Amino acid sequence: MVSIAEIIRRHHDEILESWVAQAKRAASARGLTQPELTNMMPVYLALLAQHAPGAPDSASASARRRELIEGHIGWRLRQGFHIAEVAAEFALLGQCISRFWRDRSPTEQPAPEEIEWLYGELNHATTLVTDLFHEHMRDDEQTEKRYLRLLRSIANESLRTPEVSFKEQLRDVMLLVMEAMGAQTAALLLYEPHTNRLVTTASVGVGNGEFEQYVVSLGVSSFAGKTAEREEPTTISDVATTTLEVGDALRRSGIHGLLGVRLPPRFKLLGVIYVGTSEERTFTAREGRRLESLAEQLTLQLDNAQLYKDLLLQSEDLRVERDLRERFVSVLAHDLRGPLASVKAAAQLLLRQAEALGTRKDLASRIDRNVRRMDQMIRDLLDASRVQVGGQLPLRLDTCELDSVAREVLEELREVHGDRFILDADSGVRGCWSAEELGRALWNLAVNAIKYGAKDRPITLTVRRGPAGAWFSVHNEGPVISRENQAHLFEPFSRSHGSPTNEGWGLGLFLVQSCAQAHGGSVRVQSEASAGTTFTVELPWDARPYQYSVSEGTSQEGTAGAPLAY
């Protein structure tokens, strides 16, 4: 009989060549060069060839194999590979070795105890991979939780110590983000709507003094601008060679790798955050998710700070209500949104380990879906609060097509509520509006139609071009809205007496009206037994003259010239 060690020594190169050919077709090889793919296996195979029962170096070879596996799994994890992908490499190796004796005569095959040893060794390697992977996942999860907790502590402390400048608080946050990501620099750029620019507000680490002078316009030609346009993290492996604009100071700093995320990933742009490393490399999906979690907590802090600032401006002449409003901000922004962010992070961590959930994966998905819905409800409540205290719904205006907005809303509605919707739209209905707020208004009207309309009848979304502007409507068949109820439809926290559900705040129609008024338009309702119920929003072509001026406390209507025609 021939030994396993002798087979490996005799066919070492053929075994390795066969393994590489099969491994390249497996998930574990995606994104790897051949040197990266074979960084460990030739040495591991040679150490298997040193096996001989009772040999003096057998124990040291076994220890060396374990050391190789530990280094290998650590490197693979840093590259974002999954446990199954790494374990598959060892299963492939066993197949490649066994092919050199499977079809041979019994005298040319290893003894049964030799075969048992080989598969036991490979199984031990797979078990070690699994143990190291789960240990890494636990450590990584605890690290992420720790930094999220520290970020919340900074946010809570900032409300208790308002004498500390906002910029100092943001600098403390950036130091924490840089430490959490193992980076050499971190920066926060906030969006200025009136100039359409991103301005560096806080920067720490390498060259932070120079970075704080960095200002960039939106647009995908710059790293910051490209990050602001995407929901997913944006990466640069080497600042020195990228064609994107990153600023001369950053190119001279010795920073190479960049990872940036948008704040928040959707809805109104607040800014972008990025970290940089001195090594030239790509970032893993896990690193992207960690920065997204930290960015989400930072977004809460920025939201709270802006809301607090807005409330102070509005309450200058309303000192009696100041304490009540501050308590409202504290309860809503921290006692509610803080725990909500923790629940959301926990649900997303569960979904990342879906294979461990089995049949309960749908529970984690349900938690995540409902947390997102609660987050949207809180956003609606905050916007309604701004309008109620005398403000105007803030708009991010740009040229957009109303029919395109309606089509996007229609697709989302069909995903959630089925194929009940019909779109009847003129094409190319273009104006200067807020696509985001018009999309929310359309969504609210359509959801209202689902709640109160006939369950088995279609809902129609209409978009039309008019002589002085554009309009859109949502129509449903079903119960008539009484004259008495119509008089209160657009009041905050108002619901029809025939409401079939208690879901939501009762703010949908109030926000639709606020959106229309912020654009300089209006909303009306018609409800008749023979014709059904139709909500119609009318808009001028250009909403810019109707924007509220915070500094002057007046509308700019009539000062910007005639509305533009599109």
Q: pLDDT tens digit string along 22-65?
A: 877 764 545 555 555 566 778 778 888 876 554 445 567 677 77
Residue 99 lies in a domain: yes
b/e map 313-340, b = 16+ CB within 10 Å: ebbeeeeeeeeebeebbbebbbeebeeb
Residue with the larger pLDDT of the pair 559 and 547: 547
Choosing from 344, 360, 391, the residue where a domain stops is 391
Task: State the pairing for strand pair 197-205/185-192.
Answer: antiparallel
Same domain for 301 and 165: yes
Q: What helix, strand, coil percent values describe the chain, rounded to 5? A: 55, 15, 30
Which pLDDT value is given to residue 247?
Answer: 76
- Judge whether 145 lies within some domain: no
- 270 domain-assigned: yes
* Local structure of 27: helix, strand or coil: helix
How many domains are there within the chain? 4
Residue 437 to residue 228: CA distance in whole angstroms: 18
- pTM: predicted TM-score of the whole model, two decimal places: 0.40
- In this prediction, residue 188 has a pLDDT band, given cuts at 50, 70 and 90, of confident
Does residue 70 belong to any structural domain of this protein? yes
CATH of the domain at 76: 1.10.490
| pLDDT of residue 204 exceeding 60 | yes
Among 115-119, 194-198, 345-349, where is mean pLDDT lowest? 345-349
CA distance 267 to 409: 14
420 and 544 belong to one structural domain: yes
Max mean pLDDT among 96-100, 200-204, 442-446 falls in 442-446
405 and 386 in one domain? no
Q: Are residue 121 and residue 167 in the same domain, yes or no?
A: no
Which pLDDT belongs to residue 564? 36
- Which is nearest to 489 in space by CA: 471, 467, 466, 508? 508
Residues 414 and 547 in one domain: yes
* Domain assignment present for 146: no
Q: Residue 494: its pLDDT value, please?
A: 64
Pick from 509, 564, 519, 560: which is nearest to 539 by CA? Answer: 519
Query: Which among 103-112, 204-213, 524-533 has the top mean pLDDT?
Result: 524-533
Domain end, chosen from 257, 281, 305, is at: 305
Under a CB-based contact definition with an 8 Å cutoff, are residues 454 and 478 in contact? Answer: yes
Strands 459-465 and 421-425: parallel
Which domain CATH number covers 278? Answer: 3.30.450.40
Give yes or no: residues 265 and 329 share one domain. Answer: no
| Selection from 285-294, 325-334, 368-377 with the highest mean pLDDT | 285-294
As a whole number of angstroms, the distance between CA 518 and CA 442 comes to: 15
Domain termination residue (choose one: 137, 170, 202): 137
Structure tokens at 101: 């004796």
Same domain? 237 vs 167:
yes
| Structural domain boundaries enclosing 324 | 315-391
List the structure tokens of 283.
């970032």
In Å, what is the CA distance from 269 to each residue of 162, 229, 266, 515? Answer: 25, 9, 7, 18
Cβ-proximal residues to 440 (8 Å cutoff; 6+ apart), any chain = 511, 515
- Return the CATH number at 523: 3.30.565.10
Is the domain of 85 the same as that of 167? Answer: no
Residue 249 resides in a domain: yes
Sheet holding 257-263, edge to edge: 215-217, 197-205, 185-192, 271-277, 257-263, 234-236
What is the three-state SS of 80-109?
Answer: CCCHHHHHHHHHHHHHHHHCCCCCCCHHHC
Which phi-psi region, left, alpha or beta, contains residue 478 (left: φ > 0; alpha: ψ -120 to 50)? left
Domain for residue 149, yes or no? no
Do 549 and 411 reside in the same domain of the chain?
yes
Q: How far is CA 183 from CA 203, 293, 455, in A?
A: 12, 16, 54
271 vs 359: CA distance, rounded Å: 39
Do residue 528 and residue 407 come from a single domain? yes
Does residue 153 fall inside a structural domain? no
Question: Residue 460: is its pLDDT beyond 90?
Answer: yes
Q: Give the pLDDT confidence score for residue 542 in this predicted structure.
A: 94
Q: Which residue has the higher pLDDT, 444 or 503?
A: 444
Q: What is the DSSP letter of 222?
A: B
Tokens of 12: 């070492």
Report, as an integer, the average pLDDT of 369-382. Answer: 70
Distance CA 259, CA 293 (A): 14
Same domain, 208 and 71: no
pLDDT tier, 334 (very low <50, low <70, confident <90, very high otherwise): low
**Rg of the chain on CA atoms, in Å:** 30
Site of tokens 């979304």: 461
Average pLDDT, the chain: 76
Residues with Cβ within 8 Å of 470's Cβ and at least 6 positions away in sequence, in order, are 402, 429, 431, 463, 464, 538, 539, 541
Query: According to the per-residue pLDDT averaged within each range, which of 166-175, 251-260, 451-460 is highest?
Result: 451-460
Residues 84 and 180 in one domain: no
What is the spatial order of strands in the sheet that 522-528 belongs to? 421-425, 459-465, 469-476, 532-540, 522-528
